[in-house]
């Protein structure tokens, strides 16, 4: 990563402080530390590679040098902006921004596998990790972390929890990482003030993978529910029309979504 070039591009956006690293442990971890030091809103941490990238629930996320995007944006939501029971919308914000840019700017077939994965042609190309700091009952700080597999060689070569690929492999051409970063940040900045609106929900749901299809919801290895995926509720929960006939709503927690293989 050419830090000076990237910094010049990023300075044109209405962001806070910029922290660009060739290598660090985890951009979310560094952003957490910066929050403790009083980093201003929309401060951004970007790393060319991560040695301890974080997935959800203690899983790890691999960021190979020179191949991927790994960044974290610090947000200080106004207390009215997002209610405690709507936190799924923050993952939705990251997923929507990535899916929209991949679809509209790169002409890729992007979808969001609720809650936090972005798929292209059914393969995972990006993940979103939201870390939240509370001050008593109030949501104080949100660290929105996003990892995107841009170039060949960005996908780890060991077995993963879901089939994965890179944008280059799927599109058959290379993409500029810094262009993509700028576009995704623009999309986040566009949608963030609209996160409580119907247009946000409609746009997010528009990219939802497996709509009207039969899915299984898993918690670790246990089946939590099976049925048809209906959509996203007003507070960002996933709606499943269960095989038993009930309509069930799910928050993220430890839930995984899988398409039922009917072959």
In the bound state with ligand BT5, the residue whose beta carbon lies nearer, of 25 and 198, is: 25
CA 27, CA 119: separation in Å to the nearest integer? 22
Q: Give 41 or 156: the residue with its C-beta nearer to ligand BT5.
A: 156
Chain residues 135-194 in contact with ligand BT5, contact rule CB under 6 A? 145-147, 149, 154-156, 160-161, 164
Q: If binding is defined by CB under 6 A, does position 200 make contact with ligand BT5?
A: no
* Binding flag, residue 72, ligand BT5 (CB under 6 A): yes
Q: Which is nearer to ligand BT5, 28 or 237 (CB)?
A: 28
d(CA 121, CA 4): 34
Q: Which of 6, 19, 42, 61 binds ligand BT5 (CB under 6 A)?
A: 61
In the list 2, 3, 51, 59, the residue contacting ligand BT5 (rule: CB under 6 A) is: 59
- Return the number of the residue (129 or 201) whose C-beta is nearest ligand BT5: 129
Counting residues that bind ligand BT5 (by CB under 6 A) gives 32
Can residue 91 be called a binding residue for ligand BT5 (CB under 6 A)? no
Q: By C-beta, is 246 or 254 nearer to ligand BT5?
A: 254
In this structure, the chain runs to a length of: 263
Cβ proximity of 184 and 97 under 8 Å: yes
Is there a contact between 167 and 125 (Cβ–Cβ < 8 Å)?
Answer: yes
State both tokens at 218: 């898993």
Beta strands (DSSP E) in the chain are 18-24, 44-50, 68-75, 110-113, 117-120, 123-135, 138-149, 214-219, 222-232, 238-242, 247-250, 255-259
Q: Is-cis flag, bond preceding 20, omega within 30?
A: no
22 makes contact with ligand BT5 (CB under 6 A):
no
Which single residue brings its beta carbon nearest to ligand BT5? 127
Residue 127's DSSP bridge partners are: 117, 147
Strand arrangement of the beta sheet that strand 68-75 belongs to = 18-24, 44-50, 68-75, 138-149, 123-135, 117-120, 110-113
Contact letters for ligand BT5, residues 207-246 (x by CB under 6 A): ----------------------------------------
Instruction: Name the site residues for ligand BT5 (rule: CB under 6 A).
Output: 26-28, 50, 53-56, 59-63, 70-72, 116-117, 124, 127-129, 145-147, 149, 154-156, 160-161, 164
């Amino acid at each position: 990563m050419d830090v000076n070039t990237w910094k010049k591009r990023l300075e044109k956006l209405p962001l806070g402080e910029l922290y660009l690293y060739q290598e660090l442990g985890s951009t979310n971890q560094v952003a957490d530390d910066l929050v403790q030091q009083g980093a201003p809103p929309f401060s951004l941490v970007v790393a060319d590679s991560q040695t301890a990238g974080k997935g959800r629930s203690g899983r790890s996320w691999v960021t190979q040098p020179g191949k991927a995007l790994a960044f974290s944006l610090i947000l200080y939501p106004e207390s009215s902006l997002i209610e405690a029971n709507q936190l799924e919308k923050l993952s939705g914000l990251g997923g929507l921004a990535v899916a929209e840019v991949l679809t509209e700017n790169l002409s890729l077939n992007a979808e969001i596998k609720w809650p936090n994965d972005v798929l292209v042609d059914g393969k995972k190309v990006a993940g979103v990790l939201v870390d939240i700091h509370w001050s008593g009952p109030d949501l104080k700080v949100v660290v929105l972390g996003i990892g995107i597999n841009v170039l060949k060689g960005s996908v780890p070569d060991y077995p993963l929890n879901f089939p994965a690929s890179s944008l280059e492999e799927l599109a058959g051409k290379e993409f500029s990482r810094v262009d993509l970063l700028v576009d995704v940040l623009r999309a986040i900045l566009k949608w963030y003030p609209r996160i409580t609106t119907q247009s946000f929900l409609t746009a997010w749901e528009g990219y939802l993978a497996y709509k009207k299809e039969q899915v299984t919801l898993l918690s670790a290895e246990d089946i939590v529910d099976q049925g048809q995926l209906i959509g996203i509720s007003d507070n960002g929960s996933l709606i499943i029309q269960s095989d038993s006939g009930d309509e069930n709503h799910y928050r993220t927690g430890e839930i995984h979504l899988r398409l039922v293989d009917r072959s």
